[in-house]
Amino acid sequence: MMVPPRWIRRLVIAPLMVVLAVVLVTTLPVWLLLALAASPLVPGHLRVPRLAFLAVAYLVWDAAALVSLAVLWVASGFGWKIRNPTFQRAHYVLTGKFLGALFWLAKWSLHLTVDVVGTDPDTGMPGRPEIVVSRHAGPGDSFILIHGLVNWFDREPRIVLKATLQWDPAVDVLLNRLPNRFISPGRPGNENLEKTVGALATGLDENDAFVIFPEGGNFTPRRRVRAIAWLRDRGMADKAARAERLRNLLPPKPGGLLAAIDAAPDAGVIFVAHTGLDRMVTVSDVWRELPMDKQLVMRFWSVPPEEIPAGEEERVTWLYDWWARIDAWIEENRPRPRPLGTDWTARRTPVG
């Protein structure tokens, strides 16, 4: 889906989001009554009211973020100092506050618990930048990861993400003000993606976290088949064979990660896996699975820079080895139903 030009996103879509939020808030009793009336017709405990609440809350959240960003823009001299260190830090603080609020809202709507296990990025590599390499599966996984990096580990993420996310006005404005890159894989004019990634990963400091999703998109069975066929068509039979053994992941595209490692040789690598959102692929999947009433488990593995292979081929093999390890972990940690009476929370449980 093509993203509209910046001027349309700023002058049309963003103001419309604020107006829509105001309208929904002022008419909220009507929407809640309609949702309650429809609730007996739909299986699941108060599914329609909870999802209606989440939808309205998200729109209000987006509008409130836009208003806050407008205040920062004015305070920076109408954008004059928006990229100096003080205002950049203010934007990261704002990111943490709004992501924290979003996940607090999810407590009632989704009944989700989050367990974090493995290496804590703060204790695994203190005082070092990190390259965070994550699987991509299900809606909201990138939000959860960035929320964790900002609010649990006090990191300032730099993210490579799809350009289509700019349809969300708050995401569009906020992330374009910070050192992030929106890309459109597979489209003309994107031949220098590795160069773009390398430039973004240059100059990471001790509290930065460069975030990349090597799969290039959410896992689906159809994308898995296409990705394996793509490898075979280009004569990469060994990689296609390894990709066929993956049941939960798309074969990784190593170019971006290799460029980031070259640009940030002092950075360690944190691999991230998660389970709990895997089954929500299509719109019907999302409707069936929500409200979740289940547990999300996130697993972190830390690799110090001295353990990262030096050669390109060795690094590609190393990445595929890690992908196989993550795939096996996902198989062993399928999501469990949420215990009744458990509050939405995030529990950090370091393991060896």
What is the C-alpha to C-alpha distance for residues 205 and 183, in angstroms, rounded to an integer?
23
* Total number of residues shown for the chain: 352
Give 32's contacts (C-beta < 8 A, 6+ positions apart).
Answer: 49, 52, 53
What pTM was estimated for this model as a whole?
A: 0.86
The token pair at 237 is 């039979």
- What is the per-residue pLDDT for 351? 39
Separation CA 323–CA 269 (nearest Å): 13
125: left (phi over 0), alpha (psi -120 to 50) or beta: beta
- For 292, the domain range is 6-349
Q: Cα–Cα distance between 226 and 88 in angstroms, integer? A: 40
Tell me the C-alpha distance between 60 and 76, whole Å.
Answer: 24
Question: Which pLDDT value is given to residue 104?
Answer: 83
| Helix (H), strand (E) counts: the chain | 14, 8
Q: What is the pLDDT of residue 316?
A: 96
Is residue 45 domain-resident?
yes
- Over its length of 352 residues, how does the chain's per-residue pLDDT go in tens digits? 688 999 999 999 999 999 999 999 999 888 888 888 887 777 766 777 777 888 888 999 999 999 999 999 999 999 999 999 999 999 999 999 999 998 887 766 667 777 887 765 554 556 789 999 999 876 677 888 899 899 988 899 999 888 888 999 999 999 999 999 988 765 544 457 888 899 999 999 999 999 999 998 888 888 999 999 999 999 999 999 999 999 999 999 999 999 999 999 999 999 999 887 666 655 566 666 666 566 778 899 999 999 999 999 999 999 999 999 999 999 888 765 545 444 434 544 443 3
- The answer to whether residue 340 sits within a structural domain is yes
Sheet strands side by side (includes 181-183): 181-183, 156-162, 208-212, 130-134, 268-275, 294-303, 112-118, 346-349
pLDDT of 279 reads 62
List residues bridging with 300 in a β-sheet.
Answer: 118, 272
Q: How many domains are contained in the chain?
A: 1
- Does residue 92 lie within any of the structural domains? yes
Q: Which of 95, 138, 175, 344 is nearest to 249 (CA)?
A: 138
Rounded Cα distance between 82 and 300, Å, is 33
Q: Which two tokens stand for residue 293?
A: 């009433």
Structural domain contains residue 75: yes
Helix ranges (DSSP H) in 208-311: 221-233, 237-244, 254-263, 283-289
Query: Quick check: is 1 in a domain?
Result: no
Please name the helix (run of DSSP H) or strand (run of DSSP E) that holds residue 271, with its range, or none.
Answer: strand 268-275
The whole-angstrom separation of Cα 317 and Cα 327 is 15
- Do the beta carbons of residue 270 and residue 302 sit within 8 Å? yes
